[in-house]
Structures are given as structure tokens and as C-alpha cells.
Amino acid sequence: MRDVKAKFVSLAIVALAIPLAACVPGQRSALVVDHAKQEVRLSGVVQKTDAPRMNDFGSHFSALLGCKGGKVDEYFVFLLDAWTPEVYKGLLELGARPRATFGSGGTVQHAGQSLNLVDQGYMQGDPLLIYIEWDTLNGTMRRAYEDFFIEKIVVDGKEVEKPWTPHFILHGSGILNDTRTGCVACTHDCPGGIVANNQFPLKTPIPVLKANWDLLPAPGTRVTVVLRPVPSAPPRTEGELSPTSPPPKSGSTQ
């Protein structure tokens, strides 16, 4: 695990050297790091496919929000123009930090086990909120990302439909594993993306969800996905943390 953590820290620092998406005149920028509002803003589009959870309740390993060009594009309700390392770098720039990450071996070892040690059973990192913005005839609309999905759970042996109530954290394991799935915000505690819902232990369970098309913008609608972290470190500008700088200690505010 020590080698995995060391590799992750190294890749996390290198990720800061990846240039952010440039703004093209007359077009939405794929990614904007807004220091004034303390958020990363990502352009994307709403899509509707025949993938699980699009039209009925289901569970699946992939995220519902991710970057185009990955391995599981058809599963994303919100398909982003930026690429995953750029998104991760933007969150690091705002001071967000991961704390517990997992490589592919760790997933196999820990998945499905009830572990007392949080740093072994759950991924951990700075929490963040996710919003969706889009233009309407009445102006710009903004809603919480989780509002667009309904969850089905079993209570006292009966199936119950409820609002989805995830807890999103930054972990960055998809950069460590170089998964190239394109997943940004996973619906469960999965190391394939960079943000996860760590409400439950690793991959146990995978929430049963359905897209709520009564609330979602129509397929094809251009949207802005807003990631607003609660950072544990000061914001940094590009170049402040070089590959030769010592990595920050776990829990450090430096």
C-alpha cells in the first residue's frame, strides 16, 4: 500500500503539469478554474442512450458523469468536453486533496468487506458538491447533480423509491490506475474515476438508480457542470507545485 500511495502522490504532482483546456473564442471553454467562486466549471452535453439507468432502474460500475473519449461514453448522462486529468488538475489547483486511494489490487482485496479501518475500506478525500447549469427561456437554471436521479432501496423487505443522497469526495484513483474510462463522478465507492460517492465501502453496494427525465434537461442540451470542492489546502496557480517539490503530507494544509 505504501508503494501505491507513493506512486499516487507522484502522479498527482505530475498531473499539475498537464495544461488546462484553452478557451476557444466564440465557444464554451471545456474547463475553467474559477478561483473567485472556488469551483471548476466544465462544458458538456446531456445524452440519452439505452445504457442501464437511463430509462429504468439499474446498477452499473460506470459513472453517470464523465468525459468523452473514454471507454464508457455511452453510460454518461452528462458527457463532458474536457479530459479526466484536466478535471483532476483543476480540483488540485483549487486546493482539493485526496487522502485514501486504491489501485486495482486494492479493489480486489477490499471490495465487499466490512472493514473497521476507514482508510482501508473507503476511499477518502476532500468533499465536493456538484451542480448542473443550463440556459432556459427564464434564464440560467442550476440544480444539484443528484436531483436528476432516483434511487431504489429495500426497507423492511419492500422496495422504496427515494431521492439519491450521495456523498462525493475527491480521491483521484483513476489517475493512479490510468483507467481511461472517462469517469469523473462515480455513483459508488469505485476507483475507476476521480470523484466517488463513498457513502458505502468499496463497490458495496452499487446504488440502484434511474435518470429522472422529468427534471433533466432535454437530450442534446448544452450544460455546465460545476464542481465545488471543500479544499483542505490553499489554492495554487500553475507552476507553484513542480515535480521536484516535496509532496504534501497527508492532511497537510500546505
- Is the pLDDT score of 82 beyond 70? yes
pLDDT at 240: 53
Give Cα 11 to chain centroid, integer Å.
Answer: 17
pLDDT at 66: 98
pLDDT at 119: 44
pLDDT at 195: 98
- Please identify which residue in the block is written with the cell numbers 483549487: 94
Peptide bond between residue 205 and the one before it cis (omega within 30 degrees of 0): yes
Q: What DSSP state is assigned to residue 137?
A: T
pLDDT average, residue stretch 113-123: 53
Q: What DSSP state is assigned to residue 134?
A: E
Domain coordinates in residue numbering, the chain: 2-229
Entry pTM: 0.80
Give Cα 129 to chain centroid, integer Å.
Answer: 10
